[in-house]
Amino acid sequence: MKLGVSGFLPEWRQIDLAAAQRVRAAGFRGAQWFFHKPLEAEQSDVRRVQAAFAAADLEICQVNGSYEALVNPDPDLRREGVRGLSALTRLGGQLRAPSVYVRPGGLSPYSHWSPHPENFTAATFDRLVDSLKQVCRVAEAEGVNLAIEGHVLSPLNTAARVRQLLDAVASPALKFNTDPVNFIGSVADVYDTSRVLNQLFDLLGRETIAAHAKDVALGNHLVLHIEEVLLGTGHMDYLLFLRRFEECAPQGWFLIEHLPDEKVPQARANLLPLAQRAGVKLED
């Protein structure tokens, strides 16, 4: 499998050869592109950044971007979300990206990953299914894989719920982007990440094509704070994570994410001996 990174680059239109070479020199085979406004992406900019990646021998490991929530109850705004993700999907096809990352969205006014009581209703789930059926038609035409992610605060809060979504959409273009930290929702989960990992891979392994890699720990604060921490310093069972991902997606991308630039090299350094212990070869 291949080692990539999310972040560690400037805003996509500002990426030049030096920026791409910096990522490659840090030991990453690929990097994620993030389009802040996919509907406004200029083809000249896309080609220029694509050329910089090629010149640096750096691969595009995933395409990501911002768009309106796919579950928005306002039909006009949800339509904008479908348009935005469809535009991102076409960009992914143009770039021949191995996957286009998809967030399920939510109803909170703060962010797509913030809590809201209606994130878990049947109506919200049905809107997500409908939105994805529309975008999957674009993905199928473009020959692109969509990689949807879940989170305990999102409409896709369990592995079983993601399984239900994949079955309901029933498109060969819809795959899964596994991020086990996102499914840690209790003290028991933090102290038994192997159980969470096995649930994800048992139910979703055959659709898993990409992974986001970070770590998890309990914060020393009043009541409960589940916190993301530097890879290799928390409770995530990385030996199991790496082995099971390798079984499902031997050519897939394993992306380090959610870190400031100065901590990315340390995360990579922490990951390499774990991969060696797991018997997994990382192409970096």
**Under 8 Å CB-to-CB from 49, ≥6 apart: which residues?**
12, 13, 15, 33
Is residue 138 in a domain? yes
Which H/E stretch holds residue 222? none
Closest CA to 243 of 175, 180, 149: 180
Give me the domain span that covers residue 84: 2-278
Question: 3-state SS of 92-103?
Answer: HHHHCCCCEEEC
Is residue 87 in a domain? yes
Give me the number of domains the chain comprises: 1
Please report where in the chains the tokens 């990522």 appear, as a residue: 23
State how far the Cα of 134 lies from the Cα of 79, in Å rounded to an integer. 10
According to DSSP, residue 146 is labeled E
Is residue 113 in a domain? yes
Q: Residue 52: give its domain's CATH number.
A: 3.20.20.150
Is residue 78 in a domain? yes
Is residue 163 in a domain? yes
DSSP string covering 27-85: T-SEEEEEESSGGG--HHHHHHHHHHHHHTT-EEEEEEE----TT-SSHHHHHHHHHHH
pLDDT at 284: 80
Contact 214, 231 (CB under 8 A): yes
Where does residue 32 fall: left (phi above 0), alpha (psi -120 to 50 degrees), or beta otherwise?
Answer: beta
pLDDT at 222: 86
Block means of pLDDT (10 residues each) for the chain, length 284 residues? 96 95 97 96 95 97 97 97 98 96 95 94 98 98 97 97 98 98 97 98 98 96 92 98 97 96 97 97 88
Is residue 222 in a domain? yes
**Cβ atoms within 10 Å, residue 122:** 7
pLDDT at 283: 86
Is residue 284 in a domain? no
State how far the Cα of 85 lies from the Cα of 89, in Å rounded to an integer. 6
pLDDT at 225: 93
Is residue 283 in a domain? no
